[in-house]
A = this chain, B = another copy of it.
Amino acid sequence: MSVPTTPGSAVTDLLGLVALGELLAFERMAGDARLAPDLRRRAALGEMAAAEIANYRRLADRLGALGVAPEEAMAPYVTALQAYHDSTEPRDWAEAVTKAYVGDAITDDFIREIAVALDGPDRELVLDVLHESRYAEFAAAEIRVAVEADPRVADRLSMWARRLVGEALSQAGRVAAADRGALTALIAQGGRVDASALFRQLTAAHTARMAAAGLNN
């Protein structure tokens, strides 16, 4: 089950991918905060964003300790992750919190699935950067408020969530293509036959979560 941690290895590739995900999630959420209807909510999304970059720092430090420059480990994934965010710019507050809710949850599911293949300190680190549930609760509560204020919003947000997942899976395909083989091997070591099996699992979890937030799939 042990995975080597030399530069360019599966572990540094994975830490690089998760680190970049956190960095870009930070930037986009911080930017989306401008869509908030009031200062309280604006600050809340900002704090949700700040939690992402705190996680980024921990992952970047671990990469440094493994002798890999974080920007080098992140480089192969910049195009795909940037494309995901460029193609999913929220148009209003409800879309912004839905994106934060969906994005964080899928990231967490992905990390949990992958963590089993990692060794001691790396496993602990990635399990530790899972998002705090209070942020998910804040986002889910905002979604419910938006739906209660106007039930037609549920359809729009459901469609939006489907688009988010669709874009994420499409970019995940590009990540897999950019991968030097190590990451796919790591996913396989997690007990999955291939990346597609992992994606099917993530999608199923997402569907359950949408239902819980009052959205349909």
What is the interface of chain A, defined by CB distance below 8 A to chain B?
A: 20, 23, 26-27, 30-31, 33-34, 38-40, 42-43, 46-47, 49-50, 53-54, 56-57, 60, 69-71, 74-75, 78
Contact = CB atoms under 8 A, between A and B. Distances in A.
A82 to B, nearest CB: 11
B50 A26 contact: yes
Given A50-B53, A53-B50, A71 B40 contact: yes
Most buried by B among A49, A50, A70, A78: A50
4 smallest beta-carbon distances between A and B, as pairs: A30-B30, A50-B50, A39-B71, A50-B53
B60 A53 contact: no
A23 B49 CA distance: 12
B53 A57 contact: no
Nearest to A71: B39
Contact of A39 (B33, B40, B54, B78): B78
B27 A46 contact: yes
B46 A23 contact: yes
A189 to B, nearest CB: 28
Contact of A53 (B27, B34, B43, B56): B43
Contacts of A53: 43, 46-47, 49-50
A31 to B, nearest CB: 6
Nearest to A46: B53
A47 B52 CA distance: 10
